[in-house]
Structure 1
Amino acid sequence: MATLTPEVTWAQRSSDSDETRNYLYVSINVADVPTSSADLKLTATNVSFTGTNLKGTKYHVSLDLYAEIDPENSKVNHSSRGVELVLRKKTLGIEFWPRLLKESKKVHFVKTDFDKWVDEDEQDEAQDDDYAANFGGFGEDGGLGGIDFSKLGGGLPGGEGLEGEEDDEDLPELEEEESGDKKIEELS
């Protein structure tokens, strides 16, 4: 059986003064690969993963990184969906890495994670602890990061549209022609 290369998605944050805000989000998207059959290695310049899923499909990827990371201060979360990494950049700097990989050649399996991406000039306005501290907003207690669901979906301001009210009074009646063909009334 052939070895497949998994999809890798990534995003980043940078800081020239706070090393805890200077990291990469890297996700290796391999579903149903148990931790027992996975081998993940982090070095200062490389991330490599090899694993076999429950159906027997083998995956392997080796990423030579653009610059150095700090493996000791990086985080790993292995789930049934894949492997999520928060890799601490070794060098402080406000500038983003121009790419994830050392080689400038585009590879088909590395993609930008736009759910986590923040533009370089907007990163101070973004929540900095969204993924790095809580892996995707899940709090330490496994909750959803303090979201108050009771305040969601409360209708429109002023109480309009609550309790399934239907307001059909303002809709015009449809007209039918004698021949049985339906005519769509133009609303202006």
Structure 2
Amino acid sequence: MSRHPEVKWAEREDKVYLTVQLSDAKNPKVNLDPEGVFTFSASAGTDNNLYELKLDLLDRVNVEESKINTGVRSIFCVIEKAEAKWWKKLLRGGEKVPHYVKVDWDKWVDEDDDSGGPADLDMGGMDFSKFGDMGGLGGMGGLGDMGGLGDMSGLGDDPIGDDSEDSDDEEQIKIPEGKAHDKKAEGESTKDS
């Protein structure tokens, strides 16, 4: 019995971003049909569990211009729409979206905020290959240069270091009572000189 990997999606007027989140996928196979049928299969985990996915996208797509990047933790796809228009939803049909398909809020842009430019989404130097050139993904490259992030495994739960406590960099100045006016006046007089 196969399992479903988690999928995140976002869109622009002319493309859809799909991220299949599956760490250490072995023998990933991705297929995209011009009618908008996206299929994925791979094995993963210590037991080599089979993960499969079939998504009937809302509308037609341009397979030749669509791109894919396989990484260690995910497979990222940029799917070019056949016609540049906003979709009302990701999948065709009136059924509820499967629980494993979620909105990718990191890439999401509202229709009225879309600039449509190429700098629209930072791809972080990822090496993309076209779907049309794929006979399977076995020999494709992984993530490209990630901007010098290096090994972040020793940083704990908060790799960015964003503490909710006050930073040591902030200097708090206390003005003794009754002296507030004098300090302000001194500061103003030094600016004028």
Does the pair score TM above 0.5? yes
Aligned counterparts, 1:1-188, within 5 A: 2-14=1-13, 22-34=14-26, 37-44=27-34, 45-55=36-46, 56-93=48-85, 96-106=86-96, 107-124=98-115, 128-131=118-121, 135=123, 137-138=124-125, 142=145, 144=147, 164=169, 166-167=171-172, 169=174
Shift of 1:92: 2.4
Compute the TM-score of the two structures, normalised by the length of structure 1.
Answer: 0.64
Residues paired across the two proteins, number: 139
- CA-CA distance at 1:130 after TM superposition: 4.0
Q: How many Å apart are 1:82 and its aligned residue?
A: 1.4
Aligned to 1:184: none
Q: Report the Cα distance in structure 2 between the residues aligned to 1:11 and 1:118, rounded to whole angstroms.
A: 8
Q: Name the amino acid aligned to 2:104.
A: D
SS of 1:129 mapped into structure 2:
helix
Structure with higher helix content: 2
Q: Alpha carbon RMSD of aligned pairs, Å? A: 2.8
Unaligned runs of at least 5 residues, structure 1: 15-21, 145-161, 172-188
Change over 3 Å in CA distance of 1:139–1:31 after alignment to 2: closer
Opposite residue 75 of structure 2, the aligned amino acid is: V
Alpha-carbon contact 2:7-2:100 (below 8 Å) kept: yes
Deviations 1:69-127 (A, max 9, x none): 1111001001111110000000123xx10111112311211111111011101112x76
Residue 179 of structure 1: aligned partner = none
Q: Cα gap change, 1:90/1:165 in structure 2, threshold over 3 Å: closer, same or farther?
A: closer
Q: Determine the C-alpha separation between the residues in 2 that align with 1:25 and 1:81.
A: 16
Aligned equivalents of 1:108, 1:164: Cα separation in 2: 44
